[in-house]
A and B are shown apart, each in its own frame.
Chain A
Amino acid sequence: DAGITQSPRYKITETGRQVTLMCHQTWSHSYMFWYRQDLGHGLRLIYYSAAADITDKGEVPDGYVVSRSKTENFPLTLESATRSQTSVYFCASSAVARTEAFFGQGTRLTVV
């Protein structure tokens, strides 16, 4: 199916475990983003990527790692999950800089 998909949709993990959230888009968009959404904070940018092998930090990158070896995939890894990383995570992509972004359905992550 065309579009941007995130997996898993729901994840429960324990403190200290490593967890990877997947994001896949079929449009060959150059730009991809990871946001987290928390009550009272709106969406905050974690990392973004302008192209394969090019990534940069956003507003709240600590505790997260990204990679982008292929244009269509942009996984987000929590190296050692903490309770403060309990959140809803959204992946997004855009074809051109500073234009419309397309969002995935989100991954609800709970760290216990």
Chain B
Amino acid sequence: SQQGEEDPQALSIQEGENATMNCSYKTSINNLQWYRQNSGRGLVHLILIRSNEREKHSGRLRVTLDTSKKSSSLLITASRAADTASYFCATDKLTGGGNKLTFGTGTQLKVEL
């Protein structure tokens, strides 16, 4: 079963707007990561947030983590057409998971001109 579930499944916005996508997971984690996948390509790592961190920034990306709610959000500010892609969260379990990264089902983001 999936450890992470992204919400919404699909999101369509205008260029310049902010995009927010959420990830919920089931068990206690060590780290949470976000990845981007352009159509027909492999996944690209965006950002990693550790379980003892609450917020992290990287360029136009802001990630928050709420371990009490077992959820994370990815905010992309001032979106561009090039941000059109699928976004996945991935977690590794705090105990018993080895080094396995478990991915959610993803959010498809479309940024329109």
Show the binding face of A for B, using Cβ within 8 Å. 31, 33, 35, 40-45, 48, 50, 56, 58-59, 90, 92, 94, 97-106
Contact = CB atoms under 8 A, between A and B. Distances in A.
Nearest to B41: A105
B2 A42 contact: yes
Contacts, number: 62
Given A45-B100, A45-B101, A98 B30 contact: yes
B80 to A, nearest CB: 22
Contact of B101 (A33, A40, A56, A105): A33
Given A99-B48, A104-B42, 14 more contacts: A33-B100, A33-B101, A35-B103, A45-B101, A56-B98, A58-B100, A94-B99, A98-B30, A98-B31, A100-B45, A100-B48, A102-B45, A103-B44, A105-B41
A8 B49 CA distance: 34
Interface residues of B, number: 25
A42 B98 contact: no
Contacts of B100: 33, 45, 48, 58
B45 A42 contact: no
A103 B43 contact: yes
A48 B2 CA distance: 17
Interface string B21-43: 00000000011010100001111
A104 B41 CA distance: 8
A43 B103 contact: yes
A10 B77 CA distance: 36
Contact of A101 (B2, B41, B101): B101
A94 B100 CA distance: 11
Contact of B88 (A43, A45, A99): A43
A62 to B, nearest CB: 15
Given A45-B100, A100-B33, A106 B42 contact: yes
A94 B99 CA distance: 10
A104 B101 CA distance: 16
B99 A50 contact: yes
A100 to B, nearest CB: 4
Interface centre among B33, B45, B90 (most CB of A within 10 A): B45
